[in-house]
Amino acid sequence: MKQTLERLKSEALTVVGQCATSAELTAAEILYLGRKGKLAEALKDLPALSEAERREMGKLANEVKQALTRAVADQRQKLTAEELAQASTAEASRS
Protein backbone atom coordinates (compact mmCIF):
# COMPACT_ATOMS: atom_id res chain seq x y z
CA MET A 1 0.00 0.00 0.00
CA LYS A 2 2.88 2.37 0.75
CA GLN A 3 4.23 1.92 -2.78
CA THR A 4 0.76 2.51 -4.21
CA LEU A 5 0.38 5.78 -2.31
CA GLU A 6 3.86 6.98 -3.27
CA ARG A 7 3.28 6.07 -6.93
CA LEU A 8 -0.10 7.81 -6.84
CA LYS A 9 1.47 10.94 -5.35
CA SER A 10 4.18 11.03 -8.00
CA GLU A 11 1.71 10.45 -10.83
CA ALA A 12 -0.75 13.05 -9.55
CA LEU A 13 1.91 15.71 -9.00
CA THR A 14 3.11 15.20 -12.57
CA VAL A 15 -0.40 15.42 -14.00
CA VAL A 16 -1.28 18.51 -11.95
CA GLY A 17 1.95 20.21 -12.98
CA GLN A 18 1.17 19.60 -16.66
CA CYS A 19 -2.35 21.06 -16.55
CA ALA A 20 -2.52 24.01 -18.94
CA THR A 21 -6.08 25.15 -18.25
CA SER A 22 -8.36 25.50 -15.26
CA ALA A 23 -10.66 22.85 -16.72
CA GLU A 24 -7.80 20.34 -16.97
CA LEU A 25 -6.80 21.13 -13.40
CA THR A 26 -10.33 20.62 -12.12
CA ALA A 27 -10.53 17.29 -13.94
CA ALA A 28 -7.19 16.20 -12.42
CA GLU A 29 -8.33 17.29 -8.97
CA ILE A 30 -11.50 15.21 -9.26
CA LEU A 31 -9.59 12.26 -10.69
CA TYR A 32 -7.16 12.11 -7.77
CA LEU A 33 -8.89 13.79 -4.83
CA GLY A 34 -12.59 13.26 -5.57
CA ARG A 35 -14.87 11.02 -3.52
CA LYS A 36 -14.44 8.24 -6.06
CA GLY A 37 -10.94 9.32 -7.04
CA LYS A 38 -7.73 7.36 -7.14
CA LEU A 39 -6.71 8.31 -3.58
CA ALA A 40 -10.06 7.15 -2.18
CA GLU A 41 -9.74 3.94 -4.20
CA ALA A 42 -6.24 3.31 -2.81
CA LEU A 43 -7.53 3.72 0.75
CA LYS A 44 -10.23 1.07 0.43
CA ASP A 45 -7.82 -1.57 1.77
CA LEU A 46 -6.95 0.50 4.85
CA PRO A 47 -9.44 -1.23 7.22
CA ALA A 48 -7.89 -4.63 6.48
CA LEU A 49 -4.50 -3.57 7.85
CA SER A 50 -3.32 -4.02 11.41
CA GLU A 51 -3.71 -1.05 13.74
CA ALA A 52 -0.02 -0.09 13.48
CA GLU A 53 -0.06 -0.36 9.68
CA ARG A 54 -3.33 1.58 9.52
CA ARG A 55 -1.81 4.36 11.58
CA GLU A 56 1.29 4.50 9.35
CA MET A 57 -0.63 4.29 6.07
CA GLY A 58 -3.23 6.79 7.31
CA LYS A 59 -0.46 9.25 8.10
CA LEU A 60 1.10 8.71 4.66
CA ALA A 61 -2.30 9.07 2.99
CA ASN A 62 -2.85 12.39 4.76
CA GLU A 63 0.58 13.60 3.64
CA VAL A 64 -0.21 12.59 0.05
CA LYS A 65 -3.58 14.35 0.18
CA GLN A 66 -2.03 17.51 1.61
CA ALA A 67 0.72 17.52 -1.02
CA LEU A 68 -1.81 17.08 -3.83
CA THR A 69 -4.11 19.74 -2.40
CA ARG A 70 -1.17 22.18 -2.18
CA ALA A 71 -0.06 21.34 -5.72
CA VAL A 72 -3.58 21.90 -7.08
CA ALA A 73 -3.86 25.23 -5.25
CA ASP A 74 -0.44 26.37 -6.50
CA GLN A 75 -1.22 25.34 -10.08
CA ARG A 76 -4.65 27.01 -9.91
CA GLN A 77 -3.01 30.24 -8.74
CA LYS A 78 -0.47 30.03 -11.56
CA LEU A 79 -3.13 29.35 -14.19
CA THR A 80 -5.34 32.15 -12.89
CA ALA A 81 -2.44 34.59 -13.10
CA GLU A 82 -1.66 33.44 -16.66
CA GLU A 83 -5.32 33.73 -17.70
CA LEU A 84 -5.54 37.23 -16.23
CA ALA A 85 -2.35 38.26 -18.01
CA GLN A 86 -3.70 36.93 -21.31
CA ALA A 87 -7.01 38.71 -20.78
CA SER A 88 -5.30 42.03 -20.04
CA THR A 89 -3.02 41.60 -23.06
CA ALA A 90 -6.04 40.90 -25.26
CA GLU A 91 -7.85 43.91 -23.78
CA ALA A 92 -4.82 46.15 -24.36
CA SER A 93 -4.49 45.06 -27.98
CA ARG A 94 -8.18 45.83 -28.63
CA SER A 95 -7.77 49.41 -27.41
- Tell me the whole-structure pTM to 2 decimals: 0.84
Query: What is the DSSP track for 34-86?
Result: STTSHHHHHGGGGGGS-HHHHHHHHHHHHHHHHHHHHHHHHHHHHHHHHHHHH
**What pLDDT, in 10s, does the model give residues 6-30?**
999 999 999 999 999 999 999 999 9
Euclidean distance between CA atoms 86 and 76, whole angstroms: 15
20 three-state secondary structure: coil
pLDDT range class, residue 95, cuts 50, 70, 90: low
In the prediction, which pLDDT does 8 show? 96
**What pLDDT, in 10s, does the model give residues 41-84?**
999 988 998 999 999 999 999 999 999 999 999 999 999 998 88
